[in-house]
Amino acid sequence: MGTSPLGHAYGTPDEKEALAAIKEAFDLGINFWDTAPFYGAGSAERLLGHGLRDLPRDQVVVSTKVGKYAPGQPADFSAARVTRSVTESLERLGLDYIDVIQVHDVEYADDLKQIINDTLPALAKLRKEGVVRYVGFSGLPLDAFTYILDRAPAGLVDVVLSYCHNTLNDRTLLPLLPYFKSKGVGVISASFSSMGMFTKQGAADWHPAPKPVMEAAAAARRAAEARGVDIGTLAIKESVAAPGVAVHLMGMKTVAEVRVDVRTMLEALGLAESPQATAEAEAAEEVRSILALHMDVTWPTGNPHNRT
């Protein structure tokens, strides 16, 4: 369960509803929560910590991040700052250890060498001390992932989080899965909806995708709706079909969203039947046709000199 929606990324969350959603997620079998100080300048971590308070600690996996701290503030990946950030996250979450700690959006570093030489070793030190259990990083540009993993010492990185590269119009994560496996690195795939682009509501005004991609996504959404199919359902099912992904991460903030997404996930895994299977198959074919000319199109992010 991703918690960026709990940090005002997609509007102001209803805290009571969000807490109920966390409990519902656990009851339905979700055991992995991903958050970050950046989500609402710490508010998502606090809300998640409240929601997890009464759940058995040994049955939940909590992942948070370091490096980006609040919208509008510069990133800081220095060893001292990320070490302090872990302490701050522990306090907000109400935990005495963090299962997974990730460097948040490595492409925003002044230099990717800083991530390799300073940031990740500082987190590895905390791993050795038992403050965190696994160390990783996240980002958008996949070439930054290979740059870091090709230069980092073996065993330094346990996991990576990729987003918007396992979606209806971007499959660029998939060819890299054997590479990550060869490095002994687990993969978290996030944002099946491409940050809201493949949802009923469509993308927010701030979405950075090029205009032709946004227009194609809107056309795909209309085509699915014409067949009575939610484009978000297609996005989830297309993404979950990818082999070699350890965790499929979805942002949710209401009980209704949790129930729908869990049901969709079970259908995608073949553990439940879809009453709309035929309509979904037809809609998926039409959506692929609409998006065919806009496949694997991403957007620039982070510091330009970090694009290897």
Catalytic residue of the set 10, 39, 147, 163 = 39
Q: 10 an active-site residue?
A: no
Confirm whether 305 is domain-assigned: no
The helix (run of H) or strand (run of E) holding residue 64 is strand 61-66
The predicted pLDDT at position 304 comes to 79
Mean pLDDT value across the chain: 95
Question: Closest Cα partner for 127 from 187, 185, 77, 86?
Answer: 86
The predicted pLDDT at position 71 comes to 85
Tell me the one-letter amino acid at 260. Answer: V
Question: Closest Cα partner for 62 from 90, 29, 103?
Answer: 90
The predicted pLDDT at position 247 comes to 96
Q: Which CATH number belongs to the domain containing residue 165 in this structure?
A: 3.20.20.100
pLDDT above 60 for 308: no
- Written as six digits, the tokens of 287 are 């959506």
The predicted pLDDT at position 12 comes to 76
| Helix (H/G/I), strand (E/B), else coil: 298 | coil
Per the listing, tokens 């700690």 go with 101
| Dihedral (CA of 182, 186, 191, 193) sign | positive
pLDDT above 70 for 9: no
Confirm whether 307 is domain-assigned: no
- Is residue 238 within 8 Å of 170, Cβ to Cβ? no
Question: Closest Cα partner for 28 from 280, 282, 265, 221?
Answer: 265
Confirm whether 306 is domain-assigned: no
pLDDT digits (tens, 9 = 90+) for 241-275: 888 899 999 999 999 999 999 999 999 999 999 99
> What is the reported pTM?
0.94
- Is residue 134 within 8 Å of 127, Cβ to Cβ? yes
Number of CB atoms found within 10 A of residue 55's CB: 16
Confirm whether 177 is domain-assigned: yes
Confirm whether 69 is domain-assigned: yes
- Per-residue confidence at 277, pLDDT binned at 50, 70, 90? very high
C-alpha pair distances (Å), 250 with each of 10, 196, 257, 264:
13, 11, 10, 12
Residue 102 carries which DSSP code?
E
The predicted pLDDT at position 242 comes to 81
Question: Closest Cα partner for 164 from 205, 131, 207, 128?
Answer: 207
pLDDT digits (tens, 9 = 90+) for 75-129: 999 999 999 999 999 999 999 999 999 999 999 999 999 999 999 999 999 999 9
C-alpha pair distances (Å), 31 with each of 47, 67, 77, 99:
16, 25, 28, 12
Question: What is the percent of the chain with per-residue pLDDT over 70, rounded to a whole number?
Answer: 98
Tell me the one-letter amino acid at 10. Answer: Y
Of 50 and 306, more confident:
50
- For the chain, how many helices (H) and strands (E)? 11, 7
The predicted pLDDT at position 11 comes to 64
Confirm whether 133 is domain-assigned: yes
d(CA 282, CA 153): 47
78 φ/ψ angles, rounded to the nearest 5 degrees: -65, 155
CA 243 to centroid of chain Cα atoms: 17
The region of weakest confidence among 98-102, 220-224, 266-270, 288-292 is 266-270
| Helix (H/G/I), strand (E/B), else coil: 219 | helix
The predicted pLDDT at position 241 comes to 84
Confirm whether 127 is domain-assigned: yes
Number of independent structural domains in the chain: 1
Domain that holds residue 254: 4-296
d(CA 143, CA 96): 34
pLDDT digits (tens, 9 = 90+) for 129-179: 999 999 999 999 999 999 999 999 999 999 999 999 999 999 999 999 999
Confirm whether 302 is domain-assigned: no
The predicted pLDDT at position 8 comes to 67
